Structures are given as C-alpha cells and as structure tokens.
Amino acid sequence: MQHLYPKVTWRRGDASVRPTNDKRVIYLTFDDGPIPEVTPRILDILREKKVKATFFVVGDNVRKHPELLQSILNEGHRVGNHTFHHLPGWQTSLAEYLRDVSACDEQLAAAMNTQQLTRSDHPLFRPPYGRMRANQLRELRNAGYEIILWDVLTHDYNPRFSTEKLLNIVRRYSRNGSIVVFHDSLKSNERMLAALPQAIDWWYDNGFVLCTL
C-alpha cells in the first residue's frame, strides 16, 4: 500500500521524533469524530492517562458539535482535516473533493478562536478510508497540507476483531515514530474504548511516549 502513496507520511522518521529523554514516540490518532456518544469518553481516558493525541475530524460533525471540537483543543490535542462529508476519494471528482476539504477547513475556522487557528504551523489531512486519487493528493500537497496515513491500523471498526486482537496489533507493530489509528465513531465505540486504555498502558510500560503530530 505504501508504494501507492510515496509522498505521504506513514510514520515519523527516527531523527524527527527523539524527545530530550530519548524515549520512543507513538503518534496516537482518531478518525471520524467528534460525536457526543464517543468523543467525551476518549477525552476522559486521554486526560486520565496524560496523553495528547491528534483527531482527524469530519467537518459535518464539527458543524453539529462545535463544543466537542473546543473540548479537544482545550485539552491540548491537535486536529486535522478528514473532509466535510467523509468522502471516498476514488469515487469523487477532483473539484468536488477539494470543495469538501475546503468546507471542512471553513468549519474548523468557524469553530476555533484566533489563537487556536494560529497555533497550527501546517495543516494536516487524512483521506477517509486511507485512499485518494493521485490528482487529489497532488493538489492538496501543493496547497500545503501534510497528508497523514499510518503504519498501525487497529481495525477497531471491524466487529470480527476482538479487543485482544486489537491489542495484539498494537503490540506487534508499534515502533518508534508509529502513527496509530483508532476511530472516534459509533461503529468502533465498544472495541476502541476497551482497547485504548490497555494500549496506552502497554506503550508506557514499553518505554514509549505519546505525542501529537
């Protein structure tokens, strides 16, 4: 899969992720929120565990729940663009896709204050489903977005994956600089919330620190 998208970020390279205490780094990310049934519970876990994460938000969810975006930002987490309508790039024209990305940015700007807007040094974008057309990728990169994918996908959205199977994925594939994906959605809710605190504990026990992108 990585050979199809060579100009995106799958993992942070070692040289850029070494903090002063020389511990290994995990970048924990959440896709598809924010929604009131799930997001506050994620934030509770992250606060309790003293973890900062990155949320790739759907613009329409931000429109419906701007207070949840504020909660994410107030807790010190980072946000990225995940389109306004969670569009499948391979089924969407370039013009429509770019309009949807812009609509998400506009919704983020409307929900953020000026200080929060200027705090981000470069915009982050994650394509829904981890797929997009080459011309979509090219245009968004030219517009200054860093396209973020992942090297650890937990499959928390899949009902055939047990909590233990999710944790086995985390244990097997996590390494320095890994970008890990959970989902901030109803479909993933039960498995994700069961696995998340255990995954965080495992990372801590194995010498990782967790940072925003």
According to the model, what pLDDT value does residue 73 have?
94
How far apart are alpha carbons 122 and 136 in whole angstroms? 18
Question: pLDDT tens across 34-66, in order?
Answer: 999 999 999 999 999 999 999 999 999 999 999
Give the pLDDT confidence score for residue 26 in this predicted structure. Answer: 97
User: Cα–Cα distance between 30 and 36 in angstroms, integer?
Assistant: 14
Q: Which residues of the chain fall below pLDDT 70?
A: 1-5, 13-22, 113-121
What's 10's domain CATH number? Answer: 3.20.20.370
Number of domains in the chain: 1
User: In the annotation, is 44 catalytic?
Assistant: no
Instruction: For residue 102, give the H/E element and its range.
Output: helix 94-111
CA 73 to chain centre: 14
Residue numbers of the domain that contains 55:
2-14+22-211
The rounded distance, in Å, linking the Cα atoms of 191 and 141 is 34
Q: Active-site residue among 32, 183, 184, 201?
A: 183
Let me know if 31 is a catalytic residue: yes
Q: Report helix, strand or coil for 20.
A: coil
Output the six-digit token pair for 176. 């320095």
The catalytically annotated residue of 31, 32, 100, 184 is 31
In order, the DSSP letters of 150-207 are: -SEE--TT-TTS-HHHHHHHHHHH--TTEEEEEE-STTTHHHHHHHHHHHHHHHHHTT
For residue 23, the model assigns a pLDDT of 75
